[in-house]
Amino acid sequence: MLHALVAAAEEGTTKNPLIPELYDIFWSAVCFVILLALFWRFVLPKMQTMLEERSAAIEGNIAKADEAQRQAEAALEQYTAQLAEARQEAGRIRESAREDGKQIVTEARSQAMLEAARVTASAQAQIEAERQAALVSLRSDVGTLAIDLAGNVIGETLADDAKATAIVDRFLAELEASEKATK
């Protein structure tokens, strides 16, 4: 500064840099007004609008994300419910199948038992019938045989004699009774 002032003094013309020229003030003010207008009326409103839009967009996106989250949670819940229901259903089906199976087995068993009983009964009935038949046939055969034999022994025919028949019958009854007693 000192050097500058000295140099200026040497040149003969000098000015005090602290005393403003009118034009200096004028053009400074013009520059300020232009820039103030630029920032106040154009730049800062644009910036403000953009910032508001940006925060709105961010909030919008957050809301959208919340919505998507909510939907996903609802869907998950629904799937879980469906899955649980399906499991229950499956359990129920398995249970009823088991019941059915058991029933079928029981039925089959009783059926089989009935069948067996029937078969046994019919077999016994047949055996009894055959025994009866054999008995009847045997009785008549034995009777005839015995009468013939006795006739042959005594020399006369006793076949149509009612008395002979009664004797034979009595004999056979006694025989049966003794058979029963020995059993």
Partner 1 sequence: MNLLVQTSTDDGTFHGPSIMEFFPDIVLFEGTGFDINRIMLIRLLAVLALVIVFWLGTRNMKIVPGKFQSLIEMALDFVRVNIAEDLLGKVDGKRFLPLLTTMFFMIFTMNFTGIIPGLNIAGTSVIGVPLVLAAISYVTFIYAGIKKSPGKFFKNSLFPTGVPWPVYIIVTPIEFISTFIIRPVTLTLRLLMNMVVGHLLLVLFFAATQFFVFTLGGWFIAMGAVTFAFGFAFTLFEILVALLQAYVFTLLTAVYIQLAVAEEH
151, 158 contact by CB (below 8 A): yes
Residue span binding partner 1 (CB under 8 A) among the ranges 40-48, 65-73, 75-83, 159-167: 40-48
d(CA 178, CA 181): 5
The CB density around residue 136, as the number of other CB atoms within 10 Å, is 10
Q: Which is nearer to partner 1, 1 or 154 (CB)?
A: 1
On the 0-12 / 13-18 / 19+ scale of CB atoms within 10 A, 168 is buried
Taking the least distance from each CB to partner 1, the nearer of 44 and 134 is 44
53 touches partner 1 by CB under 8 A: yes
Structure tokens at 148: 């013939």
Of residues 15 and 180, the one with the C-beta less far from partner 1: 15
Are 141 and 119 a contacting pair, CB within 8 Å? no
Under the binding rule (CB under 8 A), the answer on residue 47 touching partner 1 is yes
Task: Please choose, out of 29-37, 79-87, 97-105, 122-130, the segment that lies near partner 1 by the rule CB under 8 A.
Answer: 29-37
Choose between 14 and 88: whose C-beta lies nearer to partner 1: 14
Residue 43 binds to partner 1 (criterion: CB under 8 A): yes
Decide: residue 150, CB within 10 A, 0-12 exposed, 13-18 middle, 19+ buried: middle
- Chain residues that interact with partner 1, rule: CB under 8 A: 1, 3-5, 7-8, 11, 13-15, 17-29, 31-32, 34-36, 38-40, 42-44, 46-47, 49-50, 53-54, 57
